[in-house]
Homo-oligomer: A and B are copies of this chain.
Amino acid sequence: MATEVTNGVEHNGADVEKKTVTFTSVKTQVFVESLKANDAVSFYKSAFGAEEVNRVSYSKRKADQELPGLLSAEIKLAGTSFIVSDLSDDANALVKTVSSGMVFCLETEDVEAAVEKAVKAGAVADGEISEGEGACCGGRVGKVTDPYGVVWVICTPSVAKKSANVEA
């Protein structure tokens, strides 16, 4: 902490403060073939005893689908949460660019600062920060690919999202 003192009163330097980003959560998000996410959640329950913490479906189904896709199901296993989502070819840019099937979702109140810091450290930003329907988060969503090919979704916490409808 840089401390600057004037007239005997201490205060923290604004430049240093800007660099401090607090992350509140990191979760792995697993994408499965479209419309298999529901099955996958059932599998994780029966195979590993996972618990479903919450789920958000797309509000519309596609013409050739009986059921709407699963935007996200949060699963808890051995004290850790991860997210299972249908891989969708039309939902949003996030999903489109994922090739490995798994990403990290990193929650923070300051998405801009977090993305900026990651890019300074060597990551590549994928697109602009946007108001997003990212499956693991609500509100503002940014995305970076690190120098090792791993995708990090950086977003505000998902509290708001849970009651939102999401257009597929």
* A residues adjacent to B (C-beta < 8 A): 21, 23-28, 30, 32-33, 36, 39-40, 43-44, 46-49, 77-80, 82, 100-102, 104, 106-107, 114, 117-118, 120-123, 146-150, 152
**A148 near B30: Cβ-Cβ < 8 Å:** yes
**A149 near B101: Cβ-Cβ < 8 Å:** yes
For A146, list chain B residues within 8 Å (CB): 40, 43-44, 47
**B77 near A48: Cβ-Cβ < 8 Å:** no
Q: List 14 A-B contacts (CB under 8 A).
A: A23-B49, A23-B78, A26-B77, A26-B82, A28-B82, A28-B102, A40-B147, A43-B146, A44-B146, A47-B118, A47-B120, A78-B106, A78-B107, A101-B150
Q: CA A72 – CA B8 in complex, angstroms? A: 48
**A149 near B46: Cβ-Cβ < 8 Å:** no
For A43, list chain B residues within 8 Å (CB): 121-123, 146-148
